[in-house]
């Protein structure tokens, strides 16, 4: 099997693609590509590496890992939805020790940049995970999945309240190397995502990852029961892209310098460009990988082309470009008017 490489060659019939600076600056990291994987959609990169040279990607964001091994939710745990999918996998995984020995060791050996996603049921569990990672080498950043039920607070999801979101980030920050970039992964299922972003930044997050899945549900009209054994699940894929772009836009408007990793339904370079223009410094690709494992490399090349076509000479020039002021058009009478 041949791996898809990030291509600088023209597609048949296309003009050659001039080289531009496609590197991304995210939370103090200099990444050779702005395209990363999304947590839970490429496991720990091993299977994906058969299709894409994972060392060429911005980074692999690993499946959220908990302190102890987890078997995940009962089946069925996937459902197709219009322009998307619903999953209730739960945080199935080997637990942090096995993850470090088996998955992280492989990623480090392979030479891939790795962002480790962690998840917990209590603030204390997040702190313990961070302390465990502090002793571990080869990690570029920690992504903190706060879309988990707080077992100490009637199962309320940490990401849905500023106080609980901040408490988790504070614990992770306290137990981490002070130089370790920490990305707080936010949920769109809130009234005001800017308020949550502010809370996690004040608590010590270096940046934010936006967005996690939206809570959804499908009823099977034959059995006349919920389709998923877990009843509700996370909606992902193109259906959520406008919500994700809106979240990135709102956070960028409130925090002009905050590192933002954008995601939600990215299937093509044009989709990725939308996120970049809205304010994302880099993007993650999730659901698209399930039907096209070479998607992250293809999306890098398509984004490169889309930037060149619009006259950008680097990715960083395009970040937040949609926030610029109105275009001012010169007219003959010497007065400027604002284009409609
Ligand atoms: C099957 C599946 C598993 C996921 N597992 C995780 C996870 O473990 N941790 C996490 O933070 N997000 C998880 N996500 C959410 C994705 O990382 C991403 O935020 C979301 O799916 C939106 O991006 P997409 O539309 O490109 O998939 C998962 C998504 C899917 C589809």
Q: Of all atoms in ligand 1, which is nearest to the CA of residue 265?
A: 25
Task: Find the domain containing 212 and state its range.
Answer: 24-338
pLDDT tens, 172-205? 999 999 999 999 999 999 999 999 999 999 999 9
Its pTM stands at: 0.94
Domain count, the chain: 1
Atom 31 of ligand 1, residue of closest alpha carbon: 287
Mutate to test the pocket of ligand 1, among 35, 36, 40 (most ligand atoms within 8 A of CB): 40
Asked whether 269 and 7 are in contact (CB, 8 A), the reply is no
Atom 6 of ligand 1, residue of closest alpha carbon: 40
Q: In which band, very low, low, confident or very high, does the pLDDT at 340 lie, cut at 50, 70 and 90?
A: very low
Domain membership flag for residue 12: no
Domain membership flag for residue 248: yes
Which CATH number goes with the domain that contains 78? 3.20.20.70
Contacts of residue 141, Cβ cutoff 8 Å, sequence gap at least 6: 26, 27, 29, 59, 115, 116, 180, 181, 182, 183, 206
Domain membership flag for residue 36: yes
296 by Cβ neighbours in 10 Å (0-12 / 13-18 / 19+) ranks as: buried
Domain membership flag for residue 11: no
148 catalytic, yes or no? Answer: yes
Rounded distance from Cα 264 to ligand 1 centre (Å): 8
pLDDT tens, 231-287? 999 999 999 999 999 999 999 999 999 999 999 999 999 999 999 999 999 999 999
Domain membership flag for residue 17: no
DSSP class of residue 233 equals E
φ, ψ for residue 185, nearest 5 deg? -90, 115
Domain membership flag for residue 320: yes
Domain membership flag for residue 148: yes
pLDDT tens, 126-145? 999 999 999 999 999 999 99
Domain membership flag for residue 18: no
């Amino acid at each position: 099997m041949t791996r898809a490489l990030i291509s600088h060659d023209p597609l048949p019939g296309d003009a050659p693609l001039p080289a531009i600076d496609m590197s991304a600056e995210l939370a103090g990291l200099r990444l050779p590509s702005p395209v990363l994987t999304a947590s839970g959609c490429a496991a720990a990169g091993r299977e994906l590496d058969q299709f894409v040279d994972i060392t060429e990607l911005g980074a692999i964001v690993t499946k959220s890992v908990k302190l102890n091994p987890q078997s995940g939710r009962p089946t069925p745990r996937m459902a197709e939805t219009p322009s998307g999918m619903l999953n209730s996998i739960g945080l199935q995984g080997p637990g942090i020790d096995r993850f470090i020995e088996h998955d992280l060791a492989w990623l480090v050996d392979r030479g891939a940049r790795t962002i480790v996603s962690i998840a917990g049921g209590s603030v204390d569990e997040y702190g313990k995970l961070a302390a465990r990672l502090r002793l571990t080498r080869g990690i570029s950043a920690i992504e903190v999945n706060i879309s988990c039920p707080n077992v100490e607070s009637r199962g309320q999801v940490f990401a849905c309240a500023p106080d609980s979101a901040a408490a988790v980030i504070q614990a992770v920050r306290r137990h981490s190397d002070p130089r370790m970039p920490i990305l707080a992964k936010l949920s769109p299922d809130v009234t005001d995502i800017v308020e949550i972003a502010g809370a996690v930044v004040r608590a010590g997050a270096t940046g934010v990852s936006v967005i996690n899945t939206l809570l959804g549900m499908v009823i099977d009209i034959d059995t006349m029961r919920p389709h998923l054994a877990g009843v509700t699940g996370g909606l992902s894929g193109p259906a959520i892209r406008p919500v994700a772009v809106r979240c990135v836009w709102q956070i960028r408007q409130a925090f002009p310098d905050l590192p933002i990793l954008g995601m939600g339904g990215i299937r093509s370079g044009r989709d990725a460009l939308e996120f970049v223009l809205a304010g994302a410094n880099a993007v993650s690709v999730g659901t698209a990988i399930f039907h096209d494992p070479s998607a992250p490399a293809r999306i890098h090349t398509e984004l490169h082309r889309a930037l060149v076509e619009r006259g950008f000479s680097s990715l960083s020039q395009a970040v937040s470009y949609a926030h610029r002021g109105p275009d001012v058009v010169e007219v003959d009478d010497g007065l400027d008017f604002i284009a409609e």
